[in-house]
Amino acid sequence: MPRPQNVPLRPLNPSERTTLAQVARSGAERADRVGRAKALLAVADGATFSTAARAAGRRSGDGVAKLVARFNVVGLAALTNRPGGRPPVRYGPNEAARILREVQRTPERAADGTGTWSLTTLQRALRRAPDGLPTVSTSTIRRVLHEAGLSWQQNRTWCETGVALRRRKSGVVAVVDAAAAAKRG
């Protein structure tokens, strides 16, 4: 003998039954919506949850029980997928604004160790700042920049070609490549 249903299906009004029948017969609807509609119609016609699950091509009656409980609350919206399977947003609009403020700041060579921002130097600066983001990743920075409409190659600052600043024991030294003009063509 089957278990009694904890949450039975509420009576369907005629428009709901018509919509469920149309979705269940449709060949153009998504398969998950068709399966949910078939399961709900089977339960409305008096089938048990496990029988309705088999009629809809599912394996378990527990999913049908959850579907019925959801249908009782939200109605036909229970046929559509709910968003999910994504981790919660860790960095919201305030953190994105903080990243954009840091990108717009010109890096200080002594403090930041660079003359131009790269994703890793930007990450390092954000992690070290007292009001910064201690666990921000380069992929998060890249995503925020992309959402703000920034293209990294178009917005970066360029250094003079053939001249590089190198740290030596005696301090920072400008190293000039004599063949830079020839290499540029």
Same domain, residue pair 110 and 134: yes
Residues whose CB is less than 8 angstroms from the CB of residue 170 and which lie 6 or more positions away in sequence, other chains included:
none
Among 47, 79, 111, the domain boundary falls at 79
State residue 155's pLDDT score: 47
Same domain, residue pair 104 and 25: no
Among 34, 57, 79, the domain boundary falls at 79
State residue 113's pLDDT score: 84
Number of domains in the chain: 2
Tokens of 37: 């509609």
How many of the other CB atoms lie within 10 Å of CB of 38? 21
pLDDT along the chain (185 residues), means of 10: 74 93 92 94 93 90 92 92 80 91 89 85 92 91 85 54 84 87 70
Same domain, residue pair 33 and 74: yes
Same domain, residue pair 119 and 75: no
State residue 153's pLDDT score: 57
Same domain, residue pair 117 and 42: no
State residue 42's pLDDT score: 94
Q: Which domain holds residue 141?
A: 93-184
State residue 146's pLDDT score: 83
How far, in Å, CA of 129 to CA of 138, rounded? 16
Tokens of 166: 């190198």
DSSP of 46-88 = T--HHHHHHHTT-S-HHHHHHHHHHHHHHGGGGGSPPP-SSPP
The answer to whether 159 and 115 have CB atoms below 8 angstroms apart is yes
Bridge partners of 167, per DSSP, are 172
How far, in Å, CA of 38 to CA of 156, rounded? 56
Same domain, residue pair 102 and 179: yes
State residue 47's pLDDT score: 92
How far, in Å, CA of 17 to CA of 50, rounded? 21
0.85 cut: is pTM over it? no
